Amino acid sequence: MTGQQTVLDAAQRDLWSALYAWRLWMMLAWNDIHQRYRRSLLGPLWITLSMAVFITLLGVIYSRIFRIDLQSYLPFLTAGFVIWGLISQVINESCSAFQEGERIIKQIRLPYGLHVFRVVWRNVIIFLHTIVIFIPVALLFHVQLGFTIFLAVPGLILLLANLSWIALTLAILAARFRDMTQIVATVTQILLFATPIMWPVSTLDGATYIAEINPVYHFIELVRAPLLGNAPLLHSWVVAVVALGIGSAFSLMLLHRASKRIVFWV
């Protein structure tokens, strides 16, 4: 028990040190955004515009396929797709988190969690650019918003907490096994179609368990439901909290086992 506690303590110290250095990983994330769009006229707003066009076309087509009124379908699709963009980008980019920080890792002793938080925060910045798409959609289609919209804040925090342990786990595995990047990209594409993002759960006709057993669905619902004027279901909160507890413990143990080898893997 003492040895296991020491393992968790060492990994926890790394993550707490990374959180304490929040100014550094926030600055690095902002620098990533600046470098990516420094010669662009509109910068990150290109992502917003392209996603807005994509969601509009997808909404018109899929609302007819599912025979759902556009007034209810487009807000559902917009909220879900923007949140999915945050999740998918964090998952995919986390595979190269340590490779991106290779020079820093080999020259300066910094907490490994810092490189993970850098990826997460970088995509939060992009998410804040893209979520504005939902505002005109909500106004145009008269989404009934109430006090439940404030539940989106704790929902987003819980989502980011889960994304952090997922990103840490994938960053370690991808540093050790380079094939993980391709595997994760494939799994992410499958999740896009297996998760109620473009299709509502109501279309399953009694097979709602397909959505219920998918943790990503519950992660999305924690933010999407309040944006649509609804309170997330209790079991979505439970699934997210349980996933956070189990996933965090696993990622901490993995970090401890790999912490002395990561510098040689990148």
Residue-wise pLDDT tens digits, 29-41:
998 888 877 766 5
Q: Is the dihedral of CA 136, 137, 140, 144 positive or negative?
A: negative
pLDDT for residue 107 is more than 70: yes
Given a contact cutoff of 8 angstroms between Cβ atoms, the answer to whether 64 and 209 are in contact is no
pLDDT for residue 65 is more than 50: yes
pLDDT in tens, 233-266: 999 999 999 999 999 999 999 998 888 888 888 8
Q: By CB neighbour count within 10 A (0-12 exposed, 13-18 middle, 19+ buried), where does 91 fall? A: buried
Q: By CB neighbour count within 10 A (0-12 exposed, 13-18 middle, 19+ buried), where does 234 fall? A: exposed
**pTM for this prediction:** 0.91
Amino acid of residue 191: L
pLDDT of amino acid 3: 46
Spatial CB neighbours of 135, under 8 Å, sequence gap ≥ 6: none
